[in-house]
Amino acid sequence: MPVFQFKYFRVQQEHAALKVGTDSMILGSLCYWENPKRLLDIGTGTGVLSLMCAQRFAFDEIIGLEISEQAVLDAQTNAQNSPFPSPISILNQAIQEYFPEEQFDAIISNPPFFENSQKNPDEHKSLARHTESLSFRELIASISRLLTPHGKAWIIVPYESKENIITLAGTNGLFTSDLVEISGKPGKLSRAVLAFEKQPITTKLASLCIRTETGSYSDKYKVLTKEFHDRMV
């Protein structure tokens, strides 16, 4: 599928190893900020999260970082074709080596998360999927370094990694402001969406089940993503 059609924009994904998926759809729909100015999209891939955020918020600037040269080709095309006013810049750079002059009040990431699984023989897919290119420890440390004192960062991770990441956040001066437990089907937890801030705050808890027992999309998922899907799901 070289092109993914959203309600208000299209995502070219001819070169990127990982295509538009449910994780990005959920994260881009759930994330929220109060009057954000600058967004950093860590591991932007096709740039889909940058575009989803540009649709929902009036950012002064959006920076997407991506280490895969193949994915950058798609992300740059998608940024150039964005129908939204927020300027989007795509940089072929690792977050570990990114030291901008200003911090960001908004950060988002759908990071690589296969920690112990067998590597894909496709080098580009392996790079995109495995945490060797960006460990959770490095991700959290980078978020802490780049987030403004009153900013907010959103990520989506495997459910089984949730507690480890919350602990890492705490050791890096980050507080968990939001935790959304994601189930693929009823009773089958698979992902967690986490939001972090630098100020002490009570964690808001929520849950989302993507599909019903019969395999159709749940009403809650349909309502959450209705401003992005170009057709009924």
In angstroms, the CA 132 to CA 136 distance is: 9
- Closest by CA position to 63, among listed 32, 8, 149, 54: 54
Q: Which residue has the higher pLDDT, 130 or 93?
A: 93
Other C-beta atoms within 10 Å of 199: how many?
A: 11
Confidence check: pLDDT of 116 > 50: no
The reported pLDDT for the residue numbered 118 is: 41
Q: pLDDT tens digit string along 178-193? A: 999 999 999 999 999 9
Q: What is the pLDDT of residue 38?
A: 98
Amino acid at 84: F
Cα–Cα distance for residue pair 200/223, rounded to 1 Å: 31
- Residue 63: per-residue pLDDT: 98
* Segments making up each domain of the chain, as ranges: 3-225
Q: So what's the pLDDT on residue 12?
A: 96
What per-residue confidence (pLDDT) applies to 117? 40
pLDDT score at 122? 47
What is the rounded average pLDDT of the residues 157-182?
98
Instruction: Compute φ and ψ for 228, nearest 5 degrees.
Output: -120, -40
- Per-residue pLDDT, averaged over 165-187, amounts to 98
Rounded to a whole number of angstroms, the CA Rg of the chain reads 17
Distance CA 97, CA 95 (A): 5
Residue that is written with structure tokens 């050791």 in the block = 171
123 has a pLDDT exceeding 60: no
Q: What is residue 106's predicted lDDT score, i.e. its pLDDT?
A: 99
Return the pLDDT at 192: 98
**CATH code assigned to 3-225:** 3.40.50.150
